[in-house]
Structure 1
Amino acid sequence: MSPDSLVIENAGKVYREYASEIQRFARWFGARIDPLSERWVLRHISFKVAAGEAVGVIGQNGAGKSTLLKMIAGTTLPNEGRVSTNGRVSALLELGLGFNPELTGRENARHAAGLMGVGGEEIDRLIPEIEAFAEIGDYFDQSMRTYSSGMQMRVAFSVATAIRPDVLIVDEALAVGDAYFVHKCFQRIQQFRDTGTTLLIVSHDPTVVQALCDRAILLDKGRLMLDGLPQEVFDYYNALIAEKENSGVRTKEADGSVGTESGSGEAVFEQLDILDAQGQPVEYVEVGRPVSLRAKVRAISPVDRLVFGYMIRDRLGQPIYGTNTHHTGQALEDVEEGEAIEFNVCFPANLGTGSYSVSVALSSTETHLVRNYQWKDLALVFTVANVDHPVFVGLAHIPARIEITRQATGRLTGSA
């Protein structure tokens, strides 16, 4: 069993307001002075991260994500509990944090590396590598106040990852990068993962978290709500967002995974099936064969507008394809109480071999954030098998014709 790179036990962070800075200073020395107010941004946070494990941290704005990462990085201290790390910790937190805009990129890189505990000779060796990875050309020797946010991110990431850390913390900073450099960053992060670096990453992008992370934790209002597989945590997170419509959030287990269900209940799913070309329910689907998703729905109460949506996900929970009847121009108006509706989605199973799940939703618009009647993750699971097609890899079956042209080489002959 791998040793723990990170241990957090009952950690909490509070911000207190005093009548004066003198009172705050006196409190540091043990004086019993009550603050005017106090606000706990984190409370009773406990979890462990094993060496080499990757954990995503998700939650709405103000949930305490950045504060948690700052405590782990050591830039702020917990007011209660314990945070301990093993090995070198490198953090890419707020963009440009610690950089002096009047210094050049090279000078800031040297200064930041020094703060990371890197010695002078080692800094001299690393600077050319940092410059090469950042790829900002002559700007590396110009004042940082002339940099765009993307250029700042390039330098910050290059410095933070110049030496492979034992623990790497990334807090949404990559969101400002251009597509090319973001790909480059994730390639380096993946290389670090492969060589044993522990990763903590904050991102609202489920694809990033599901691709990079072994598990995820959900923070809500300063509390740790859920610790589990990335798909499970993201499903619950999305349901929490929808809960503002006073819809309950429920979980269920299916095929070893935990699905989330939410909704106010004005319209509900009564039956869901995957059907073959003969209209028979199936659990196994052949690559390329026509199938349909059948959803039987009933309106429990009158509904002004009803939108049906679905999403096909791979076994890691990453979306493969999804749409809804708002986007297809087929939203239903004035649905009566007790009315039964059947939706049939017909498509060719041009998918790679493996297992897939289907999430379905009933709402009033293209998003569940307005009125969420019912939303079911892991509503059903089916398996795709390749029976009669040439072997291929990947998540999509995209038949291709490969044309090959061979050009004969001329052989020179002559007389001597």
Structure 2
Amino acid sequence: MGTITVTNLGKAFKQYPTRWSRLVEWMDPRGRAHHTPHWVLQDVNFTVSAGEALGIIGINGAGKSTLLKMIVGTTQPTVGSVSMTGRVAALLELGMGFHPDFTGRQNVMMAGQLLGYSVEEIVSLMPEIEAFAEIGEYIDQPVRVYSSGMQVRLAFSVATARRPDVLIVDEALSVGDAYFQHKSFDRIREFRKQGTTLLIVAHDKAAIQAICDRAILLNAGRLEMEGPPEAVMDYYNALLADRKNHEVKQEALTDGTVQTVSGTGEAVIEEVVLLDESAQPAEVVSVGQPVALRVKVKCVRAIPELVIGYMIKDRLGQTVFGTNTYHLKQVLVDLAAGQSLELDFEFMANIGVGSYSVSVALHTGVAHVANNYQWRDRALVFDVINIKTQPFVGVAWLPTTVRSMS
């Protein structure tokens, strides 16, 4: 079984003030440094247990790729250590080091040997690799004529030809087409069921929450947060809108979940309630039932433009539906300090049986990253039951009829 242990890991690059400083440092008989260290990663500690899936998230430049390179050994850390057990397969960069002038088949032979396969094993696995990659006759064409998606297909097929104890995947899969993304994630899920330890970097919130048991957030080269994927993704979402006087708070709710509240506080959410057809509060609704989400807001300061939005998420934190007054063409303008307002978002609860949460946001423009006055996750929780409709599965109810064409 595969495990990963990262201890006090850090990486610094040398920055020289002039182009001659490197030579002066090399020739200095006193061995004095003529550079300043630029730390891109510091004090990173975490463990991944056998069979666990860990997601790594963070904005570009946070140190995610550098961290993975140190874990797999292609980059040496400045301080700290990494220890791993089990057979490791990694897909860190597009093409996985494929030589552009060699054919796909020749590159498979080389890449397979780098992964520890013998020539005989690669030959026996080749039909399966070809079948999974689905690049047809291009397998015998030079890699330089491949599209980026074709390179990803072949690289992933080689890396996962046999189930590894540890699978490490960077954001390379985001380059592939939607069909292959689904296919590759199905293989990853199957490996997980069989006990593979997974370390994955992705900006895809749905992928992290669907696959991972735990997530860590890197910010400016440091481990900012570690915890359940939904809580970490909510915190990351709040950081994306980080501005002057912007606060991010997290607190544990009575049901054990974590609520994230962020924003400048120039406008605040006073109340969120789900109403039935009689305008009565409802914690349980039926599939297809007309409901209204009432949001009460108070402007602490004068607000030139205010957009109010909501997002419904399922029990795994996956987004089911979301919209706001910007998309609905009802942006509020010129609101006075101290002014209160109340909006009802009316819709049919055409969603599947289960438990759902509602996030509410106050901002300007199309999304909260411009001016986030307040974003409140898990502002409301409700359940959906099925009383009147035919049985169905999934998170969306699509009323369906059948017509015979014979």
- Say whether the fold is shared (TM-score over 0.5): yes
Q: Compute the displacement of 1:26 (Å).
A: 9.8
1:343–1:16 Cα change, 3 Å: same
Q: Compute the displacement of 1:25 (Å).
A: 10
Counterpart of 2:95 in 1: which secondary structure?
coil
Counterpart of 1:91 in 2: which secondary structure?
strand
Provide the residue aligned with 1:194 in structure 2.
Answer: 193
Aligned amino acid, residue 159 of structure 2? A
Matched, 1:293 2:311: no
Provide the residue aligned with 2:262 in structure 1.
Answer: 262
Contact 1:245 1:372 in 2 (8 A): no
Q: Compute the displacement of 1:379 (Å).
A: 0.9
Partners in 2 of 1:165 and 1:189 — Cα distance?
10
Q: Compute the displacement of 1:404 (Å).
A: 6.6
1:5 to 3, 6, 11: 3
Q: Gapped runs of 5+ residues in structure 1?
A: 408-416
Aligned amino acid, residue 22 of structure 2? S
Partners in 2 of 1:97 and 1:129 — Cα distance?
19
Aligned amino acid, residue 349 of structure 1? A
Aligned amino acid, residue 8 of structure 1? V
Provide the residue aligned with 1:150 in structure 2.
Answer: 149
Partners in 2 of 1:49 and 1:14 — Cα distance?
24
Counterparts of 1:132-281 in structure 2 under 5 Å? 132-254=131-253, 255-281=255-281
TM-score using structure 2 length: 0.94
Q: CA RMSD in A?
A: 2.0
Partners in 1 of 2:44 and 2:377 — Cα distance?
27
Counterpart of 1:294 in 2: which secondary structure?
strand
Contact 2:294 2:344 in 1 (8 A): yes
Matched, 1:394 2:394: yes
Provide the residue aligned with 1:20 in structure 2.
Answer: 22
1:303–1:13 Cα change, 3 Å: same
Contact 1:4 1:48 in 2 (8 A): no
Q: Compute the displacement of 1:52 (Å).
A: 1.2
Q: Compute the displacement of 1:399 (Å).
A: 2.6
Counterparts of 1:63-78 in structure 2 under 5 Å? 63-78=62-77
Counterpart of 1:316 in 2: which secondary structure?
coil
Aligned amino acid, residue 296 of structure 1? K
1:17–1:339 Cα change, 3 Å: closer
Counterpart of 1:243 in 2: which secondary structure?
coil
Q: Compute the displacement of 1:402 (Å).
A: 3.9
Contact 1:357 1:378 in 2 (8 A): yes
Q: Compute the displacement of 1:20 (Å).
A: 2.8
Provide the residue aligned with 2:104 in structure 1.
Answer: 105
Aligned amino acid, residue 63 of structure 2? G
Contact 1:357 1:381 in 2 (8 A): yes
Provide the residue aligned with 1:360 in structure 2.
Answer: 360
User: How many residues were matched structurally?
Assistant: 401
Question: Could you give the per-residue CA deviations for residues 48-94 of structure 1, whole angstroms, max 9, x where no partner exists?
Answer: 11111111110001111001111111212222222111111111111
Counterpart of 2:393 in 1: which secondary structure?
coil
Aligned amino acid, residue 293 of structure 1? L
1:253–1:367 Cα change, 3 Å: same
Q: Compute the displacement of 1:401 (Å).
A: 2.9
Counterpart of 1:401 in 2: which secondary structure?
coil
Partners in 1 of 2:297 and 2:307 — Cα distance?
11
Question: Could you give the per-residue CA deviations for residues 127-153 of structure 1, whole angstroms, max 9, x where no partner exists?
Answer: 222222211122111111111111111
Contact 2:10 2:42 in 1 (8 A): yes
Question: Could you give the per-residue CA deviations for residues 279-318 of structure 1, whole angstroms, max 9, x where no partner exists?
Answer: 1112122222111110111111111111001000001110
Aligned amino acid, residue 275 of structure 2? L
1:41–1:362 Cα change, 3 Å: same
Q: Gapped runs of 5+ residues in structure 2?
A: none
1:402–1:310 Cα change, 3 Å: same
Aligned amino acid, residue 395 of structure 1? V
Matched, 1:335 2:335: yes
TM-score using structure 1 length: 0.92
Contact 1:245 1:370 in 2 (8 A): no
Provide the residue aligned with 1:410 in structure 2.
Answer: none
Rg (Cα) greater in structure: 1
Aligned amino acid, residue 232 of structure 2? V
Question: Could you give the per-residue CA deviations for residues 305-359 of structure 1, whole angstroms, max 9, x where no partner exists?
Answer: 1100100000111010100101111001111111111010111112211110000
% identity of equivalent residues = 55
Aligned amino acid, residue 95 of structure 1? L
Contact 2:2 2:197 in 1 (8 A): no
Counterpart of 1:244 in 2: which secondary structure?
coil
Partners in 2 of 1:203 and 1:22 — Cα distance?
42
